[in-house]
Structure formats: C-alpha cells, structure tokens
Amino acid sequence: MLTKIKVAHVREIDALGARTFTIGDKEIAIFRLSDGSVRAIENRCPHKNGRLSEGMVCGSNVHCPLHDWRIDLRTGLVQEPDHGAVTVYETEVDAASGSIYITIE
C-alpha cells in the first residue's frame, strides 16, 4: 500500500541543501536542487553507507561524502565508473502551501 506523508516545507531546505527524517527503519534524505525541484532518496551510499545528506549536490547528483561516489537524485543510480543504486521516493510539492510530501510503501 502506498502512503503519502507530509515531511517538510520547501523553505526549510536551502537550495542545494538537504534534510533527513526517519520513517520506521528508513532514513530518508530530501534535497532541494538549484532548479527548485525537490528529490528524496534513501540516505545511505551503497558503497560504504555514507550519509548522502552530508554530501555535496551538483546538478541533479549528490556526491557521497566518504568516497565521492555520484548518485543521480532522479533515478537513484550510481554514476559510472562506479555502480549500484539507492531507493528513490516520489516527491510532491504543494504549490499553494509549499508543503513537501513523499510516497512510500
């Protein structure tokens, strides 16, 4: 069953910044990109479990703070020459209120 959860307000996340929260056993990072879009992914690099929320955002990628692996925030895929993936969560920003929602299973 899919559940939509309000997790933050867009003004709580700086451009190119991140915020984390936990739902059950899932730690999720929400990123605000330079184009204003908001993305949510699992907050752990598949390489050595680095906290992606502490990484640098560049374009639509986040760089893992441990070993600079690049993860695409749209797809969750690790960029070459490395490989792997993280879970991506559907995000929605309510245009009227600025509330951010994610959808989880």
At residue 76 the predicted structure's pLDDT band, cuts being 50, 70 and 90, is very high
**pLDDT tens, residue by residue, 32-53:** 998 889 999 999 999 999 999 9
Do you find a cis peptide bond into 46, omega within 30 degrees of 0? no
What DSSP designation does 34 have? T
Q: Smallest Cα–Cα separation from 62: which of 30, 36, 91? A: 30
Q: What does pTM read for this prediction?
A: 0.90
Q: What secondary structure does DSSP assign to 64-96, as a single string?
A: -TTT--EEETTT-BBPTTS--B--EEEEEE-TT
Domain 3-104, CATH 2.60.40.1220 — does that match? no
Contacts of 59 (CB under 8 A, 6+ apart): 33, 34
